[in-house]
């Protein structure tokens, strides 16, 4: 009989005092019809993964909403305020449990959740434009964007 070993975050605590990268990103993989709440096929992922690869820091990447919200026609939509608030409670629980050294917030929707919360993590928050915005509208500044984040790690 094979014994299955599941990840136990209490025993292998790689998140403790890590740096959190939090953003909102979704992707529909049309080739496989897979909906991914955290796709490595997005420009956002590629930019942030490159930063993570260049750093010696322990970086944990989180999506504000952990599932892909769909409309009645099965098309990706932005999450509702209620959905974001529910998942934000989970993010706050992760922050309390793992006490990240720094929290990098990417994009207005994510940043607004922390700004609206009066008990936010003052002093540990870093605000940046969403990486997809940079990849689409400021392509020529991607390396500066990455360097700025790396300098703040």
Is it the case that residue 122 has pLDDT exceeding 70? no
Q: What is the CATH number of domain 19-33+41-152?
A: 3.40.470.10
Mean pLDDT computed over 83-105: 89
Q: Tokens at residue 100, please?
A: 């990240």
Per the rule left: phi > 0, alpha: psi between -120 and 50, beta: everything else, 99 is left
Is it the case that residue 121 has pLDDT exceeding 80? no
Q: How far apart are CA 147 and CA 145, in angstroms?
A: 5
pLDDT at 33: 52
Q: How far apart are CA 91 and CA 71, in angstroms?
A: 24
First to last CA, the chain: 46
Residue spans per domain, the chain: 19-33+41-152
Predicted TM-score (pTM) of the model is 0.80
Q: Round the average pLDDT of the chain to a whole number and report it.
A: 80
Length of the chain: 153
């Amino acid at each position: 009989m094979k014994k299955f070993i599941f990840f136990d975050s209490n025993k292998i605590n790689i998140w403790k005092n890590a740096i959190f990268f939090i953003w909102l990103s979704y992707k529909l993989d049309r080739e496989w019809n897979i909906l991914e709440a955290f796709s490595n096929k997005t420009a956002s992922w590629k930019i942030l993964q490159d930063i993570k690869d260049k750093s010696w820091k322990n970086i944990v990447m989180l999506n504000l909403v952990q599932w892909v919200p769909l409309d009645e026609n099965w098309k990706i939509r932005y999450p509702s305020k209620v959905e974001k608030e529910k998942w934000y409670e989970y993010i706050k629980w992760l922050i309390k449990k793992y006490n990240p050294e720094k929290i990098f917030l990417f994009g207005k929707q994510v940043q607004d959740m922390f700004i609206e919360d009066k008990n936010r993590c003052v002093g540990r928050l870093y605000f940046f434009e969403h990486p997809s915005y940079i990849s689409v509208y400021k392509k020529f500044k991607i390396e500066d964007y990455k360097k700025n984040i790396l300098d703040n790690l």
